[in-house]
Amino acid sequence: MRDSRPQQATASPRIDGNQLELFAQEFFAALKPADKPATPAQPLFKAPPPAPRHLLPSPPVAPGAPPLKRIFLGAYTIDYALRRSTRRSIGFMIDDDGLRVTAPRRCSQLDIDNAIRAKGRWIITKLLERGERRAQQKERAPIEWKDGACLPHLGGQIVLRLEQAARSHCRFDPETSQLWIGVVPGLSEWQLKERVKLWFQAEAKRLFTERLDHFAPRLGVRYRALALSSAGTRWGSCTIEGNIRLNWRLVHYPLALIDYVVAHELAHLREMNHSPAFWATVAEVYPDYDGARLALRKRSQEMPVLFTDK
């Protein structure tokens, strides 16, 4: 018999008109093409941007002299002066003006470039050091050449005293650390600086001779002659004949640093190289040579420029 009771309807979610309208908008929006162009595919490997080229200081070119040569070492552009000579090997000299290269006449430009690249790290390091030192020196106030000026001497300072005089004279008072200069009428600043420089050079010659005579017997060597140097990059040199040259500007530095340079050059009379045997020779009379090298480099960056000429 058929059940005449009404059947219970299954419940279903109710969707109103607002929901249908929202659904339709989202559906047709998905079918519309994108208004913004698609981002192009990026290359799998992207080359890095080229490194900036830093032009380091370059030597001045005298009138009529050949133009400078140029070489690229990594991010650095180096202009250098090239000189041909009868020497057998390629030599490098770096000063505050840049790099100078001396090469045998038989060497090709390719040989010279390869030699520069082989020492590229050393060359760049030295040029950057020189550039940094020159920048620091430019930032320091220059010495005023007047009565009471302080001048560097043996790691300390002496005081420049100027006095009117009929005849020029120069005397140093070690008790008061004063350098007295007799100023005659019409004396110019460059003449005053030259007079002071001559005094520094005489002091250097006297002191260097004393220190050489002190260390030479302790190393068991004899040097032949001493000469003063004004080199821009070297504190000293020694030849196999026993001729020693020391930079007179060392007289501005502490005695301990002067002794290091003196011991260094005398040690070359036993070892004409920079081998471990050489440094062992230096250590016989100057054990802390590493500390002295670092201190000399630091001091040279801090030292004011008194005389710009050689």
How many C-beta neighbours within 10 Å does residue 146 have?
10
CB 161 within 8 A of CB 181: yes
236-238 vs 178-183, strand pairing mode: unpaired
* pLDDT tens, position by position, 35-46: 555 555 555 545
At 86 the pLDDT is: 85
Dig out the tokens for 279 from the structure.
């440094």
- Of the listed ranges 7-11, 46-50, 146-150, the one predicted with least confidence: 7-11
For residues 124 and 76, what is the distance between their CA atoms, to the nearest angstrom? Answer: 8
At 29 the pLDDT is: 52
Residues in the chain: 310
Dig out the tokens for 34 from the structure.
């994108």
CB 155 within 8 A of CB 255: yes
CB 157 within 8 A of CB 151: yes
- Of the listed ranges 14-28, 60-74, 180-194, 278-292, the one predicted with least confidence: 14-28
Determine the angle formed by the axes of helices 276-285 and 289-302, rounding to 10 degrees. Answer: 80
How many C-beta neighbours within 10 Å does residue 150 have?
14
10 Å CB burial of residue 149 (0-12, 13-18, 19+) is: middle
Average pLDDT, the chain: 83
For CA atoms 255, 217, 230, 182, give the dihedral sign: positive
CB 221 within 8 A of CB 183: no
pLDDT category at 75 given cuts 50, 70, 90 is: confident
At 252 the pLDDT is: 94
* pLDDT tens, position by position, 85-108: 888 889 998 877 889 999 999 999
Q: Which residues, including other chains, have CB under 8 Å from residue 97's CB and lie 6 or more apart?
A: 57, 58, 59, 60, 232
For residues 227 and 206, what is the distance between their CA atoms, to the nearest angstrom? Answer: 11
Dig out the tokens for 129 from the structure.
């050091």
For residues 79 and 83, what is the distance between their CA atoms, to the nearest angstrom? Answer: 13
For residues 73 and 96, what is the distance between their CA atoms, to the nearest angstrom? Answer: 19
Q: What is the pTM of this model?
A: 0.64
- Residue 261 confidence (pLDDT) above 80: yes
CB 248 within 8 A of CB 201: yes
